Amino acid sequence: MSVNGDSIIEVDQLVRRFGDRAVLDGIAFNVHRGETLVIMGGSGCGKSTLLRHMIGSMKPTAGSVKLFGEEITGMKEREIERVRLRFGMLFQSGALLASLTVGENVALPLFQHTKKSPDEIEQIVKRKLEMVGLTGFEDLKPDEISGGMKKRVGLARALALDPELLFSDEPTSGLDPIMTAVVDELTLKLTKGSHMTAVVVSHDMTSAFRIATRMIMLGHGSIVAEGTPDEIRNSLNPEVQQFIHGRADGPIPLNLSQEEHKDHQLVRPRPFLGGRFRFHHKHS
């Protein structure tokens, strides 16, 4: 475990119940500056729920989440907005606004949170789209592009404000192996070159081992295993081995009932930005 640098995220005794079911049941870990932490675990084990608590869009049943040293669990929306300026979030679905073009989606945080001119913003949008391999797609609407492209637009938007911390939920799911490698390379470039810290949820093991400096495996509401990629690879825990090798047989219970599955699909991540901010400077 890395002891270099300070903790920019501290999660302690985090509990989240839905009804009487504890999806997160006393989770504790820290994220240190500069590391890329991959959170893995089976579908429905609570990875997205954990991320939503880390960005303050869900309140825990109990426990604490500190970002950059500040407790966010008790914060009002207004205060959380201030903390959100320091991190980017790529949602599982991309969470693009359907009525805006690709370019407008990427521009949104810049219009909302900076005083840059429309020309400057256009240049930044161009650069961010170029980073994710989408030069020239500015004027298309989200429903005119593929799922993988939506994801990359979501990434460009998450990077629009050059955040020091990036959260991404399944950034490579639905991407072909080449695009997966492109997104992974980009994550590595940002974390290694620009010292960005990243927290990435992934069940793509190739991608996870490519980018992680540390890994956490979630299961049964708890942390099943935690360590460097090598430690995880060599873990003697049969659940870890089953998961990283994608075996059908093993100790991991197949617990997604039809009903849970339905719930799971109904859960829609909430975008940060309301339409009311659309294209108005915050201080104008």
Ligand X SMILES: Nc1ncnc2c1ncn2[C@@H]1O[C@H](COP(=O)(O)OP(=O)(O)O)[C@@H](O)[C@H]1O
Q: How many residues are listed for the chain in this entry?
A: 284
| Neighbouring-strand partners of residue 27 | 14
Q: Which residues of 115-136 are buried (b: 16+ CB within 10 A; e: fewer)?
A: eeeeeebeebbeebbebbebee
Give the integer Cα–Cα distance in Å for 213 and 71.
25
Binding mask 13-52 for Mg ion (x = CB under 5 A): -----------------------------------x----
Give the integer Cα–Cα distance in Å for 266 and 250.
29
- Site size for Mg ion (CB under 5 A): 1
The reply on whether position 202 binds Mg ion by CB under 5 A is no
Tokens of 101: 């073009």
DSSP letter (8 states) at residue 132: T
| Neighbouring-strand partners of residue 222 | 219
- Closer CB to ligand X, residue 25 or residue 104? 25
- Nearest distance, CB of residue 14 and ligand X, angstroms: 13
- Nearest distance, CB of residue 173 and ligand X, angstroms: 11
- Nearest distance, CB of residue 267 and ligand X, angstroms: 4
Residue 32 binds which entry of Mg ion, ligand X, none, with Cβ cut-offs from 5 to 8 Å by kind? Answer: none
- Nearest-10 crossing angle of helices 147-158, 118-131: 130
- Nearest distance, CB of residue 27 and ligand X, angstroms: 12
Residue 122 binds which entry of ligand X, Mg ion, none, with Cβ cut-offs from 5 to 8 Å by kind? Answer: none
- Nearest distance, CB of residue 44 and Mg ion, angstroms: 8
Contact set with ligand X (CB under 6 A): 18, 23, 41, 43-49, 260, 263-264, 267
The residues of the shown chain that bind Mg ion, judged by CB under 5 A, are 48
